[in-house]
Amino acid sequence: MTDTSEAARPVLVLAGGLSHERDVSLRSGRRVAEALRGVGREVAERDVDSHLLRALREEPPGCVVPMLHGESGEDGAIREVLELLGVPYVGAGPAACRTAFDKPVAKTVVARAGLLTPESVCLPAESFRELGAADVMAALVGRLGLPLMVKPAQSGSALGCTVVRRAEELPAAMVNAYAYGPVALLERFVAGTEVAVGVLDDGAGPQPLPPVEIAPDGGVYDYTARYTAGSTEFFVPARLSEEAAAECARVALAAHEALGLRDISRSDLILDEAGQVWFLEVNVAPGFTETSTVPLAIEASGLDLGKVVASLVDAAVGRAEASGATDGGADGVAGGGAGAAASSGAGRG
């Protein structure tokens, strides 16, 4: 008799999609698939297209690992579909994804949890035009000062992000941000050490990975610096004091829990010269490319990448079996917080 249990079916890695981060997603998906095969798991890889739902119904996988980045991948849409079909998957539930992907809302939630996050303003493109761009920009600089970080409110991989050091640079930065979404986020720039902290939870409770210090050659951790080999120097663990490293880990864990995330996340932080840790943003589907910080931290911990991902798959399958369907319960805070939260700032992409 054919075994139809989740454990007997292949793991499906979803990667690609139609967002601006498609290439990064494909690279992440390939690496995750190879890592799982390396520990003996049967793996299928698939892009997102009009045939996906039919394929999931006709040949449901044992578990899905969503490696989709950007909109539709990290905004909870695909995970909502997986919930409807009762397919287990690794990662946060749909409502938590929606909250985390919307940077202003995510910042509001973590600020309410007591974390520091830079002051910022959220501005739709319509308001920017209708209220008069020159007057709006003058008010923004007057409120937040310079330098500023300008970015899309819902995007990743630092696409559309610009550091503005002079007022005359602001118009081009706004246009750049609006090219990737209808809402721009302007944030007071916090100088310091950029740190990324991953959080893993294979069912035993969330645990932080070693902090990764990010030192881009050009001084800004933009798309090129993130995904071009040799453009950024990474220090794992970060060159921090024991106290500073512990505080970075505490902030990442607190953000993970406040946002109702599960299985895996990555928080992007800044450690300023005074030793304060500032939350910038969180990622519910962190990259797994050769230059991504979560795999670097996993390897620095002495862990095997394939075994780590396999443990997350097993946790997702166990969660589904325990509940009789895919469990969306981890959405918790995010479900209510997203609707009520006011616009605020967001972190550096």
By annotation, the residues acting in catalysis are 21, 157, 227, 266, 268, 281, 283, 287
Instruction: Answer positive or negative: Cα dihedral of 248, 254, 257, 260.
Output: negative
Report the distance separating Cα 21 and Cα 73, nearest Å: 10
Nearest to 10 by CA among 47, 53, 54, 46: 46
Report the distance separating Cα 46 and Cα 319, nearest Å: 23
Report the distance separating Cα 238 and Cα 72, nearest Å: 32
Phi, psi of 342 (to 5 degrees): -85, 160
Phi, psi of 283 (to 5 degrees): -125, 125
Whole-Å CA distances, 58 to 54, 55, 102, 150: 6, 5, 33, 45
Whether the Cβ atoms of residue 101 and residue 70 lie closer than 8 Å to each other = no
Report the distance separating Cα 152 and Cα 162, nearest Å: 10
